[in-house]
């Protein structure tokens, strides 16, 4: 079935976020260690980024490494950090030629120095690109993000920079690491799991969710198109009733 032909490109979501799950299980099915799956997952990132560009999606956020992922075996964490550095270095030419702007969300100060340096270099090189924004959630935790935002706001109230009465939704959003990035209309999770795993809890207030059984290394263009088509079949009411929308 040609899912792309059925998509109304005038109604594609501006921001799609993906929880890339299933690399380890995919690798085990192939008889390999978990890192084998992470390496193959990079190709899915390439495909989904290209497909997102083809659809006119402006922001693509990928949940790449959570704060909880540090609890995984050391060899896997070390391998993931090495893969991150290599992938960014290898993809920079493609990011430039495809007019992709690279962003990060999360506590990137907690990443190894080599990762921070590669990320900073790539973001500087791509900062003027405009076709699509690729945001990598690295050392990310939504609870950490919200706690950090509340601490910042609290300090500003204490110093008199702002008044308590001025605190609102927008102010909180402006103190998150996603400042300047619109909330995702569509959040996709692969591998059959049905949870957010501490991802964009504030930003997902009115997101549509799409869960599929496909393991991340097997998630390709058509799988993204299916998710977007499913999104377009839904009625987004934002607390209103159908009659108000029409």
* CB crowding 174-201: b at 16 or more within 10 Å, else e: ebbbbeebebbbbbbbbbeeeebebbbe
Query: What pLDDT is recorded for position 236?
Result: 75
Cα gap 217→41, rounded to integer Å = 4
Q: List the beta bridge partners of residue 135.
A: 61, 103
Query: What pLDDT is recorded for position 212?
Result: 98
Residues 6+ apart with CB under 8 A from 227: 16, 186, 188, 210, 212
**For the chain, what is the HEC assignment?**
CCHHHHCCHHHCCCEEEEECCCHHHHHHHCCCCHHHHHHHHHHHHHHHHHHHHHHCCCEEEEEEEEHHHHHCCHHHHHHHHHHHHHHHHHHHHHHHHCCEEEEEECCHHHCCHHHHHHHHHHHHHHCCCCCEEEEEEEEECHHHHHHHHHHHHHHHHHHCCCCHHHCCHHHHHHCCCCCCCCCCCEEEECCCCCCCCCCCCCCCCCCEEEECCCCHHHCCHHHHHHHHHHHHCCCCCCCCCHHHHC
Query: What pLDDT is recorded for position 235?
Result: 83
The pTM assigned to this predicted structure is 0.94
Confidence band, pLDDT 50/70/90 cuts, at residue 243? low
156, pLDDT greater than 90: yes
| CA-based R_g, the chain, Å | 19
Residue-wise pLDDT for 120-136, tens only, equals 999 999 999 999 999 99
244, pLDDT greater than 70: no
**How buried is 81 (Cβ within 10 angstroms: 0-12 exposed, 13-18 middle, 19+ buried)?**
middle
From residue 110, alpha-carbon distances to 61, 134, 146, 177, 202 in Å are 19, 20, 17, 14, 22
Residue-wise pLDDT for 43-81, tens only, equals 999 999 999 999 999 999 999 999 999 999 999 999 999
Residues with a catalytic annotation lie at: 21, 69
Instruction: Kindly report the backbone phi and psi dihedral angles of residue 81, in degrees, each rounded to the nearest multiple of 5, phi listed first.
Output: -65, -40
């Amino acid at each position: 079935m040609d899912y792309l032909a059925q998509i109304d490109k005038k109604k594609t979501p501006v921001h799609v976020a993906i929880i890339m799950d299933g690399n380890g299980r995919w690798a085990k099915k192939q008889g390999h260690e978990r890192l084998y799956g992470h390496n193959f997952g990079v190709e899915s990132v390439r495909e989904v980024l290209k497909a997102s560009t083809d659809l006119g999606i402006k922001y693509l956020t990928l949940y790449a490494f959570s704060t909880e992922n540090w609890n995984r075996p050391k060899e896997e964490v070390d391998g993931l950090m090495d893969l991150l550095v290599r992938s960014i270095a290898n993809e920079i030419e493609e990011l430039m030629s495809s007019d992709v702007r690279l962003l990060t969300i999360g506590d990137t100060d907690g990443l190894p120095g080599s990762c921070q340096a590669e990320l900073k270099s790539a973001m500087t090189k791509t900062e003027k690109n405009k076709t699509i924004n690729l945001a990598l959630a690295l050392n990310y935790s939504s609870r950490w993000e919200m706690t950090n935002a509340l601490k910042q706001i609290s300090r500003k109230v204490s110093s008199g920079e702002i008044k308590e009465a001025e605190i609102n939704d927008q102010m909180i959003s402006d103190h998150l690491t996603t400042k300047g990035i619109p909330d995702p209309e569509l959040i996709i999770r692969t591998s059959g799991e049905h949870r957010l795993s501490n991802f964009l809890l504030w930003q997902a207030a009115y997101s549509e969710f799409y869960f599929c059984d496909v393991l991340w290394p097997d998630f390709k263009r058509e799988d993204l198109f299916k998710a977007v088509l499913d999104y377009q079949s839904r009625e987004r009411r934002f607390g209103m009733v159908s009659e108000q929308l029409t």
